[in-house]
Structure 1
Amino acid sequence: MHPVLRDAWTTVVPDPADRHGPLPPLMLALTMVTGLVDAFSYLVLGHVFVANMTGNVVFSGFAIAGAAGFSLTASLAALAAFAAGAVLGGRIAHRARAHRGLVLHLALAQETILVLAAYVTAQLAGPAYGAGTRYALIALLGIAMGVQNATARALAVPDLTTTVLTLTITGMASDSKVAGGRGGKIGRRALSTTAMFVGGLIGAVSVLHGSPALPLLLAFVLLVAGTVAALTLTRSDADWTSPL
């Protein structure tokens, strides 16, 4: 099997003896969740991200400069909510650090509840979101994505950060054979990028041709599946469960 294909395959169907065990496919699913949720936030809530904080920092500058369509308040609200979620995710990671599967399960449970709350809020608000609904959704989703990002950081599965692709794409290019590198991990990095793309694509199609809140429902379904899968991982005592 070609090294790139083998790398992709072992990400989707990992070797149980690998240091990260069954975590990689779950992190891929969370990457798709990011695409779905950010598609909703950007297209429905205005020019604001709830997972991509680099974007919000830049958007804040745009808003201060007076660019149309950008809200400083919304960007700052997303940043604050994300930071609060990262604190919550960090507390989970530190308390359950002895078992990486437990860290993931507890974090996913929190994220699932928050995304469900966002979906219910969006549905109850109807087709037109007022300012209160908009900021409630930014808060709920920002916290959820902060939890996810802190958890991904704590688990530290290589090239699967779930919310940031800048370093992933940089790694594909700078480590390639064209650049003089060994070309390692291209399959996994490409999968991560594709998962984000597919999540964003499905989210955008859902908003533009379906229901505005549909991306949140799809993200919730993925999170429920991930939470159930992670629950089974909490019973494992394999080497991958130990802290890095």
Structure 2
Amino acid sequence: MHLFGDEPTTRDRPRSAVTVRPRSRPVGKKRMKKSAGAFAALSLLTITTGLIDAATVLGFTVFAANMTGNIVFLGFSLGGSPEYALIPSVAALVGFVLGAWGAGFIVPAKLTPRPASTALGVQAVLIGIAAVIAMLSDAPGPTWQDWVILLILGAAMGLQNVISLASPVADMKTTVLTLTIAGIASELARGTQQRWGLRLVSIVLLLGGALGGTLIFLGLGMGWTLLAAALITAVGGVIFRSITTGDKWAADLTH
């Protein structure tokens, strides 16, 4: 008991009022290894985005991963701009929607490694098919093969965007970096630069993928650029498959 307004001691307080500090657990080697695997897989997907968009922008003046740009290009085309054709933007957009729709059956709202691996396997196959079509298509000018390539690549990147959307690593986006750059700038103004690492890595990886994709495209052609993207995506799927853990598989990357 406490008298005359004295503060109650810990012993006098009800059990629910006693503050219990949780013990901090050191991150184990296995968990760190799993987080490193998730980081590696997401990094490879970011490089894939740069490769794919390098091939489609240089080859068709259209994006396969960035639908914001395609909507803008579609507006240019509808407005009568001769530099932007209607069919490429529509083909990529339709493929993207179909790919994202299909991914909804594979990838859960809260991403786990095994569904991610399955989705990336499908994505790698799609990109590989597009690569083969590009290598076999030698006809000059726009052809139906070009629209098929864009449709397939749009579907592949729709899959990847769903994976990125469901990923627990919010700062490791593999396709769109607009909010990433905005986050860095705003945190710089607030003086709360706590999550720069993954954001900067995403920017560098996408830039590197686009640079590498441009060099391969100009030197060897679209087919080899897409083949490189397919192989990198497949490796990312293998890495995800090797992560056998529960819902907290990427927890260490979120802090």
Calculate the TM-score normalised by the size of structure 2: 0.80
**Pairing 1:69–2:83 present:** yes
Taking a change above 3 Å as real, the CA distance of residues 116 and 185 of structure 1, as seen in their structure-2 partners, is: same
**Pairing 1:196–2:196 present:** no
Retained in 1: the 8 A contact 2:87–2:147?
no
Question: What amino acid maps onto 1:221 in structure 2?
Answer: L
Question: What amino acid maps onto 2:90 in structure 1?
Answer: L
Structure 1 unaligned spans of 5+: 1-13
| Equivalence for 1:6 | none
Alignment partner for residue 51 of structure 1, among 60, 65, 74? Answer: 65
Kindly state the Cα deviation for residue 31 of structure 1 after the two structures are TM-superposed. Answer: 0.7
Identity of aligned residues (%): 33
**Distance in 2 separating the partners of 1:102 and 1:69:** 42
**Pairing 1:128–2:147 present:** no
Task: Give the SS at the match of 2:107.
Answer: helix
**Pairing 1:236–2:253 present:** no
Taking a change above 3 Å as real, the CA distance of residues 157 and 238 of structure 1, as seen in their structure-2 partners, is: closer
Kindly state the Cα deviation for residue 88 of structure 1 after the two structures are TM-superposed. Answer: 1.1
| Equivalence for 1:157 | 169
Taking a change above 3 Å as real, the CA distance of residues 196 and 99 of structure 1, as seen in their structure-2 partners, is: closer
| Equivalence for 1:169 | 181
Calculate the TM-score normalised by the size of structure 1: 0.84
Retained in 1: the 8 A contact 2:37–2:239?
no
| Equivalence for 1:139 | 151
**Pairing 1:37–2:52 present:** yes
**Pairing 1:213–2:227 present:** no
Spell out structure 1 runs of 4+ moving beyond 2 A: 14-22, 126-130, 209-212, 235-239
Question: What amino acid maps onto 2:239 in structure 1?
Answer: A
Task: Give the SS at the match of 2:65.
Answer: coil
Q: Deviations over 1:106-130 (max 9, x none)?
A: 1111101101101111111136364
Alignment partner for residue 190 of structure 2, among 161, 180, 184? Answer: 180
Retained in 1: the 8 A contact 2:92–2:151?
yes
Kindly state the Cα deviation for residue 16 of structure 1 after the two structures are TM-superposed. Answer: 2.2
Kindly state the Cα deviation for residue 181 of structure 1 after the two structures are TM-superposed. Answer: 2.9
| Equivalence for 2:74 | 60
| Equivalence for 1:224 | 234
**Distance in 1 separating the partners of 2:250 and 2:106:** 15
Pairwise CA RMSD: 2.4
Question: What amino acid maps onto 1:25 in structure 2?
Answer: A
